[in-house]
């Protein structure tokens, strides 16, 4: 029997921000791409969060792209797909998920089935048919629960900031932080479960798996909604005049931001020199960090429009007050990777992209 070429990238959540960016990137590197996405983002967050347009673009623009609109919870369909392409799959990027804390709290069973059980199912099916594949999981900094909130933080005029003498001040939080014994939110708990499973399939079975614990990943292709995709949703609000709600901590909570393309470039580096059970924080670092109030000012500067916002003083349970990702471990393992954009560049990219899509 003729040996098939192993040049297939299987991407779950292909219509989403990270999935669609991955599809384009790996297509550009000469891979054929298979995408799985049932547009459940629309069910989570409503019509404006639908990824149907993104999926259509992939079908129109990437030659040979094949889309599968089944629900990842469907074990039979997943089994058939991996069996069919077993000899060809070189990499699996697992980016399908229910991504919101608030949504998870309202329906923990669905959240866990999508985020945790589906990940186990995908890992086990991969082990059965493509044990040698590289398996990348888009995890989250929420696996650290609310532990970052017990860092020594102080309030400044526009943001919360960590004490300048702390070892996390310059570069942010590294992977040594415990993921245990903290408040995660139901979303955080389902993501921790998947994160541990992905590590275990690497450590126990020797598969080439990696968890990328993302901070805020963003870009113009995010089908941003109030409950997920803060920076692009903010730019959307500035452009449409829609009112934005700042939730808790006086709007001074800090996040770092990374363009989806820079995250996918991390995946590429990992693919070329994979390890087993790797764990990396993934974010843009201090130069891309901003509080919500700072982000509003930057959006106003970039778009030339006032952001209409209101304030709700009930912060989200378990929400991080201050988070900056230290990517030093990844950079040490993969010295070729770097990200140069600052937060204003990122907002400009989102703005240009959203204007172009109008």
Ligand X SMILES: NC(=O)c1ccc[n+]([C@@H]2O[C@H](COP(=O)([O-])OP(=O)(O)OC[C@H]3O[C@@H](n4cnc5c(N)ncnc54)[C@H](O)[C@@H]3O)[C@@H](O)[C@H]2O)c1
Give the interface with ligand X as residue ranges (CB under 6 A): 13, 15-19, 36-41, 51, 71-73, 95-99, 114, 138, 140, 214, 216-217
CB of 117 to ligand X, least distance (A): 10
| Smallest distance from ligand X to CB 258, Å | 8
Residue 99 or 274 with smaller CB distance to ligand X: 99
**β-bridge partners, 180:** none
- By beta carbon distance, the residue nearest ligand X is 16
Cα separation of 90 and 22, whole Å? 14
Cβ closest to ligand X, residue 219 vs residue 277: 219
Residue 55 CB, nearest approach to ligand X (Å): 8
CA 156/CA 150 separation, integer angstroms: 17
Decide whether 249 or 323 has the Cβ nearer to ligand X: 323
State the minimum distance, in angstroms, from the CB of residue 87 to ligand X.
Answer: 24
Please say which residue, 6 or 71, places its beta carbon nearer to ligand X: 71
Residue (99 or 148) nearer to ligand X, CB: 99
* Angstrom distance (rounded) from CA 304 to CA 317: 33
- Angle of helix 230-240 relative to helix 343-357, nearest 10 degrees, comes to 50
The CA-atom distances, in angstroms, between 156 and each of 52, 69, 175, 295, 309 are 42, 47, 26, 15, 21
Minimal distance, residue 30 CB to ligand X, in Å: 23
**Nearer Cβ to ligand X (137/168):** 137
Question: How far apart are CB 36 and ligand X at their closest, in Å?
Answer: 6
User: Least separation, in Å, of the C-beta of 201 and ligand X?
Assistant: 17
Nearer to ligand X, 98 or 288 (CB): 98
Strands 254-255 and 290-291: antiparallel
């Amino acid at each position: 029997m003729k040996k098939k070429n192993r040049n297939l990238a299987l991407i779950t959540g292909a219509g989403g921000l990270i999935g669609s960016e991955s599809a384009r990137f790996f297509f550009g590197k000469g891979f054929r791409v298979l995408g799985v996405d049932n547009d459940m983002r629309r069910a989570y967050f409503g019509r404006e969060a639908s990824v149907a347009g993104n999926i259509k673009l992939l079908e129109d623009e990437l030659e040979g792209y094949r889309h599968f609109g089944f629900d990842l919870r469907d074990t039979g369909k997943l089994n058939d797909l991996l069996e069919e392409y077993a000899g060809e799959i070189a990499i699996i990027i697992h980016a399908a998920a229910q991504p919101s804390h608030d949504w998870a709290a309202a329906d923990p069973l669905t959240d866990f089935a999508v985020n945790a059980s589906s990940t186990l199912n995908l890992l086990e099916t991969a082990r059965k048919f493509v044990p040698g594949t590289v398996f990348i999981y888009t995890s989250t900094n929420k696996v650290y629960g609310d532990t970052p909130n017990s860092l020594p933080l102080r309030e400044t005029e526009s943001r919360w900031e960590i004490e300048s003498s702390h070892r996390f001040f310059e570069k942010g939080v590294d992977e040594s932080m415990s993921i245990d014994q903290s408040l995660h939110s139901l979303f955080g708990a389902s993501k921790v479960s998947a994160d541990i499973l992905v590590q275990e399939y690497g450590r126990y079975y020797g598969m080439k798996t990696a968890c990328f614990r993302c901070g805020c990943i963003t870009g113009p292709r995010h089908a941003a909604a109030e409950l997920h995709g803060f920076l692009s949703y903010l730019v959307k609000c500035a452009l449409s005049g829609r009112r934005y709600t700042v939730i808790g901590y006086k709007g001074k909570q800090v996040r770092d931001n990374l363009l989806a393309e820079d995250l996918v470039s991390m995946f590429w580096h990992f693919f070329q020199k994979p390890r087993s059970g790797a764990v990396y924080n993934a974010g843009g670092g201090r130069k891309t960090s901003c509080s919500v109030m700072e982000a509003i000012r930057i959006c106003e500067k970039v778009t030339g429009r006032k952001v209409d916002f209101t304030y709700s003083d009930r912060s989200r349970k378990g929400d991080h007050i201050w988070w900056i990702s230290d990517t030093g471990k990844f950079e040490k393992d993969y010295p070729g990777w770097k990200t140069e954009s600052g937060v204003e560049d990122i907002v400009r990219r989102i703005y240009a992209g959203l204007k172009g899509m109008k």
